[in-house]
């Protein structure tokens, strides 16, 4: 199972080496394709499209990133393996819920490339990279798509382009996204205004992890909204421009806070750090909120702390599956205790 669940510390998109790698944790490009002559997955009977699926995996095996990797049927994984795969973004929520439909997943050794079958579309190709670099993710995902396109006939319409289960993604079938950390905008009370502004200009926005009606850890997903009528190059350019505007405002707001509200900011950062280092019970939502300010302190020099890559990995390591907790079969306090212990060890 190592091909599906590589050790989280070798996930290349978490290594914080790309452009603006502190406020932008990772960028992602994914392409949806459907087999010609078959209904979309939610309307296809189990077993349909097996021949095309085999051709897809045979073609993918020739791509450098996938050489030596084997496709894994998700139904063969244990409950914890599935949970860890979901927490790491290796499989989708839809695949996790529909194991009876026989979804498969193929993952490169560094988890920068993924190929999913029977997701929202018959085939979903995903490339992830560090920082704000959607062009690199796009190049990587299209290099795989070209190999598959030579091996399998995908549903295509002269007017609408590639046909996808989500009408807004028809055309190129492409979606671009990135995960941004916006603690300064949130602290200043302007995050909602900034996100609404880019939303009006073509991006969708949501919290990466949400509870109690808000984004925890000041982490937000920015995602392109449509691909119909746009070329891949145009989409990447427009997405980068809007995402860079959000990041630029975050960086500028950090500088303003350091000059005008420094003591208040320092107090919030050190309180958060103290709780992370000493708490004996810690929920995931609370840990993300405190990590947000502690990470901001390390990024601005107000607090000594780990590098951005370590913070990125920590966000995943604190999830229940990675802590070895089964939410359905454990005492609720086990999760809180294990997370607090992990944080104390992280800071020791």
Cβ-based neighbours of 146, under 8 Å, separated by 6 or more: none
- What are the structural domain ranges in the chain? 8-253, 262-347
Which range is least confidently modeled, 77-86, 182-191, 285-294? 77-86
Which range is least confidently modeled, 77-81, 190-194, 257-261? 77-81
Rg (CA), the chain: 21
Whether 133 contacts 28, CB under 8 Å: no
Q: What integer pLDDT is reported at residue 327 of this predicted model? A: 67
What is the Cα–Cα distance from 269 to 300, expressed in whole angstroms? 11
Whether 343 contacts 281, CB under 8 Å: no
Does the pLDDT at position 3 exceed 70?
no
Mean pLDDT of the chain: 93
pLDDT in tens, 294-346: 999 999 999 998 999 999 999 999 999 999 987 677 788 999 999 999 999 99
Q: What integer pLDDT is reported at residue 42 of this predicted model? A: 84
Q: C-alpha 245: how far from its chain's center?
A: 20
Rounded to an integer, the average pLDDT of 39-60 is 89
Whether 274 contacts 285, CB under 8 Å: no
Rounded to an integer, the average pLDDT of 158-179 is 95
What is the CATH class of 8-253?
alpha beta
Does the pLDDT at position 19 exceed 50?
yes
- Report pTM: 0.94
35: β partners: 154
């Amino acid at each position: 199972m190592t091909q599906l669940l590589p050790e989280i510390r070798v996930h290349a998109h978490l290594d914080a080496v790309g452009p603006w790698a502190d406020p932008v944790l990772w960028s992602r490009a994914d392409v949806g394709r459907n087999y010609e002559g078959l209904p979309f997955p939610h309307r296809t009977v189990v077993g349909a499209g097996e021949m095309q699926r085999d051709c897809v995996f045979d073609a993918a095996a020739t791509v450098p990133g996938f050489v030596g990797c084997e496709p894994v049927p998700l139904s063969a994984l244990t409950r914890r393996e599935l949970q860890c795969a979901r927490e790491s973004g290796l499989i989708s929520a839809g695949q996790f819920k529909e194991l009876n439909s026989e979804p498969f997943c193929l993952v490169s050794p560094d988890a920068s490339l993924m190929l999913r079958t029977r997701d929202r579309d018959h085939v979903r190709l995903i490339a992830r990279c560090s920082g704000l670099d959607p062009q690199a993710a796009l190049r990587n995902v299209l290099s795989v798509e070209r190999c598959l396109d030579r091996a399998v006939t995908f549903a295509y319409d002269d007017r609408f382009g590639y046909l996808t289960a989500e009408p807004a993604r028809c055309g190129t079938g492409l979606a671009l996204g990135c995960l941004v950390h916006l603690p300064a905008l949130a602290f200043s009370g302007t995050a909602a205004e900034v996100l609404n502004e880019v939303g009006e200009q073509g991006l969708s926005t949501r919290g990466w992890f949400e509870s109690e009606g808000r984004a925890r850890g000041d982490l937000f997903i920015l995602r392109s909204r449509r691909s119909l009528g746009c070329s891949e190059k145009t989409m990447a350019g427009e997405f980068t421009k809007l995402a860079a505007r959000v990041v630029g405002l975050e960086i500028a707001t950090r500088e303003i806070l350091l000059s005008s509200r420094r003591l208040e900011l320092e107090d919030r950062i050190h309180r958060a750090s103290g709780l992370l280092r000493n708490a004996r019970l810690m929920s995931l939502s609370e840990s993300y909120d405190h990590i947000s300010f502690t990470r901001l302190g390390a990024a601005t020099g107000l607090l000594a702390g780990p590098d951005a890559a370590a913070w990125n990995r920590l966000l995943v390591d604190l999830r229940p599956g990675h802590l070895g907790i089964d939410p359905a079969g454990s005492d609720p306090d086990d999760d809180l205790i294990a997370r607090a212990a992990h944080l104390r060890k992280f800071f020791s």
